């Protein structure tokens, strides 16, 4: 699933801005890798980003993709979800949002909810740690997987 052109433009503008302010070198590689994450709503992992960018940059290595993605995260340009490092997925949507995760194929999609943003947390959380924000993860079966199940493919 593609991100809207307006969102992609905003993300690329922010990328340029943050790079300039942090004094980071804006290389063609970095730009291509960020663009790959910015243009999709799929929350890709490093491997998937690598496959996408490699089509345009055949000399690119997976290692470079890893290092660049974590560098983008340090700069606050993308977020990660899932367990850190090995299979982490990357998200260029920095607005407040929640996730629907398909338990069968791993599809992850953003959705927005004012009421979820304002969820009241149980006090028991204080004994675990200090909460900074709440992001709801809804688990279920996506439409495509539901169709597959029904037709038995």
Query: In the complex, which residues of this chain contact Zn ion (CB under 5 A)?
Result: 91, 93, 102, 104-105, 107, 110, 142, 145
DSSP line for 56-120? T-TT--HHHHHHHHHHHHHTTS-EEESSSSTT-EEE---SS-EEEEETTT--EEEE--HHHHTPP
Sheet containing 98-102: order of strands: 108-111, 98-102, 137-140
Among residues 33 and 60, whose Cβ is nearest to Zn ion?
33
In the complex, the smallest distance separating the C-beta of residue 142 from Zn ion, rounded to whole angstroms, is 3
Among residues 54 and 109, whose Cβ is nearest to Zn ion?
109
Specify whether the CB–CB gap between 4 and 42 falls below 8 A: no
Among residues 26 and 105, whose Cβ is nearest to Zn ion?
105
In the complex, the smallest distance separating the C-beta of residue 110 from Zn ion, rounded to whole angstroms, is 4
In the complex, the smallest distance separating the C-beta of residue 132 from Zn ion, rounded to whole angstroms, is 17
In the complex, the smallest distance separating the C-beta of residue 130 from Zn ion, rounded to whole angstroms, is 23
Among residues 24 and 82, whose Cβ is nearest to Zn ion?
82
């Amino acid at each position: 699933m593609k991100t809207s052109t307006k969102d992609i433009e905003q993300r690329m503008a922010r990328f340029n801005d943050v790079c300039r302010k942090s004094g980071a070198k804006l290389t063609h590689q970095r730009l291509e890798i960020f663009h790959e994450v910015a243009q999709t709503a799929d929350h890709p992992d490093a491997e998937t980003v690598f496959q996408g960018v490699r089509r345009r940059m055949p000399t690119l290595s997976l290692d470079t993709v890893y290092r660049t993605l974590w560098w983008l995260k340090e700069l606050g340009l993308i977020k990660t979800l899932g367990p850190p490092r090995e299979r982490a997925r990357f998200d260029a949507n920095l607005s407040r949002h929640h996730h629907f995760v398909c338990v069968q194929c791993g599809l992850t999609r953003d959705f927005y909810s004012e009421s979820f943003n304002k969820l009241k947390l149980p006090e028991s959380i204080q004994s675990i740690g200090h909460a900074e924000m709440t992001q709801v993860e809804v688990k279920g079966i996506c439409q495509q997987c539901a169709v597959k199940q029904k037709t038995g493919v």
